Every structure is written in structure tokens, then in C-alpha cells.
Amino acid sequence: MTEEQKQPETINQNLEVTISDTPADTFNAAPESIEKNSVESTVETVESIEVNLEPEKQFSEEQAEIFAAFQQENANLKNLLDEKSQQAELTKAQYARLAADFENFRRRTINEKEILEIQAKKNVITELLPVVDNFERARTQLKPETDGEKAIHTSYQGVYKTLVECLKKMGVSAMRPEGKEFDPNFHEAMLREQTDEYPEGTVMEQLMRGYVLGDTILRHAMVKVAVPKDPVITSEEKNTEEQENNG
């Protein structure tokens, strides 16, 4: 049996010896005597317990050393955890910046792709617009009379219709400026005509059709714009004006 296992038995024996050594008359004595004897007996018991607890006290010191070592290790682990947490936060911040940069790059790439697609469409469609113009001139100027001419006319107008449908699918739309106010962003004034039928600055006629691709202008519409007529000066007003100039 080890010293630690023997200690409770020793303590119990000491307590039994202390109690058994107490004379029976002590319990019948006066209260002061009983109290004095009890205190002395308790002191002796405590001293006996302290003597027997010396090995336990030494064992507790060893435990204290072990506990101190554990505390130091715990502090070291805590410092390591704080360091790793800081590294994790730094890595997280770097990842967030990289994710934001990648998102900006992705959006910029998509915008550039859309711009390139629109530019490519614009270049191709611009080359096809003169073909569309020729079909429209043929439709307005040619007047088929024979059955053969009518068949040819119907044939190339079918081609014209197919071409226009393809342009519409690509997002191309024709301008309809007649009767609208002149806008230099969409129109190009080729002629000016004095008239009282339209307000000043109104597009009277479209000489060459303009086209847009979405919000992109493929070609400005060439138009004729209304301007007010000059005031009519009568002979009397003219003579009066000449007299004022000579006077």
C-alpha cells in the first residue's frame, strides 16, 4: 500500500486516539473546562494531520509545477492561435480583394466583348446599307408593265424583304424622322425649304434613310428641313424703306 493510501487510515487513527484519550470526566466538567480541553485536543489533532500530510503537501507542489507547465503551454498555444487567426484574417482580406478584382475584370471583359460585337455588326451592316438603298430606289422608280417585268420586280423585292428581315433580327431599325423636329444627333440637313405648312425646324422629307443599331447610329438620316418664308414686302413698304435710307 502506498503512502497516499495509508494517509486516511493514519488520520482516522489519530482522531480515534485523540477521542479515546480524552477522560470521561472531561465531558462532565464545566463548560469552560470542556471548551479548553476541546481546543487543545483539536490543536493536537490538526498538528498530527499536518505531520501526516507532509507527503501530500510535497505531491501538491509537484502538481503545481505540472499545472504551471500546462499554463505556460496553454499561453503558448493561445499566442499561436492568435497568430494563426491574424494570418487567416489577412488571407481572407486578400481573397476578398482578389475576388473583387476578378469580378471587375469579368465585367470589363463582358463590356469589351459587347462593344466589339456591336462594332463588328456596325461595320458589316454599314457595308450592306447601300444595297438596301438600291432596292428601295428600284421599288420607287421602276414601274413594271409586262408580266416578265412584274415577275422580276416581285423576285428582287422578295430578296429585299429577306434582307430587311435579317437586319431587323440583328437589331437594326430604320429612322422615321418625317414630321419630327430636326435633331442633329440623328439627322443631317441636306436641304432647307421655306414653307408655312410646317413649323420651323421640322423635317419635311427624308432624302436618304438613316439607321440605328440599338443605341448606336449606323447612318444619319439625310433630310429636308422647313424654314419660315421671308416676309412679302409691298411696293409702298419698299418705297418707304428707300426713303428712310435716303433720308
CATH class of the domain whose range is 175-247: mainly beta
pLDDT of 52 > 60? The answer is: no
Report the amino acid identity of residue 44: E
Positive or negative torsion for Cα 87, 89, 91, 97: negative
- pTM of the model as a whole: 0.53
For the stretch 119-147, pLDDT in tens is 888 899 999 999 999 888 888 887 878 88
pLDDT in tens, 57-96: 445 777 788 888 888 888 888 889 999 999 999 999 999 9
What whole-number distance in Å separates Cα of residue 156 and Cα of residue 138? Answer: 9
The 10s digit of each residue's pLDDT in 9-19 is 444 444 444 44
Residue 236 has pLDDT above 70, yes or no: no
- Residue 207 main-chain phi, psi, to 5 deg: -80, -35
Percentages of the chain per state (helix, strand, coil), in multiples of 5: 70, 15, 20
Q: Report the candidate in 188, 227, 224, 229 with the shortest Cα–Cα distance to residue 203.
A: 224
- Rounded CA-CA distance 25/27 in Å is 5
93-105 burial string, b = 16+ CB within 10 Å, else e?
eeeeeeeeeeeee
- Alpha-carbon torsion 146, 149, 154, 157, what sign? negative
40-50 residue pLDDT tens: 554 455 445 44
- Residue 211 and residue 173: Cα distance in Å, rounded? 6
CA–CA–CA angle 198, 200, 202 (5° rounding): 60
| pLDDT given for residue 65 in this prediction | 82
Q: Where are the domains of the chain?
A: 3-52, 175-247
Chain segment 18-36, per-residue pLDDT in tens = 444 444 444 444 444 444 4
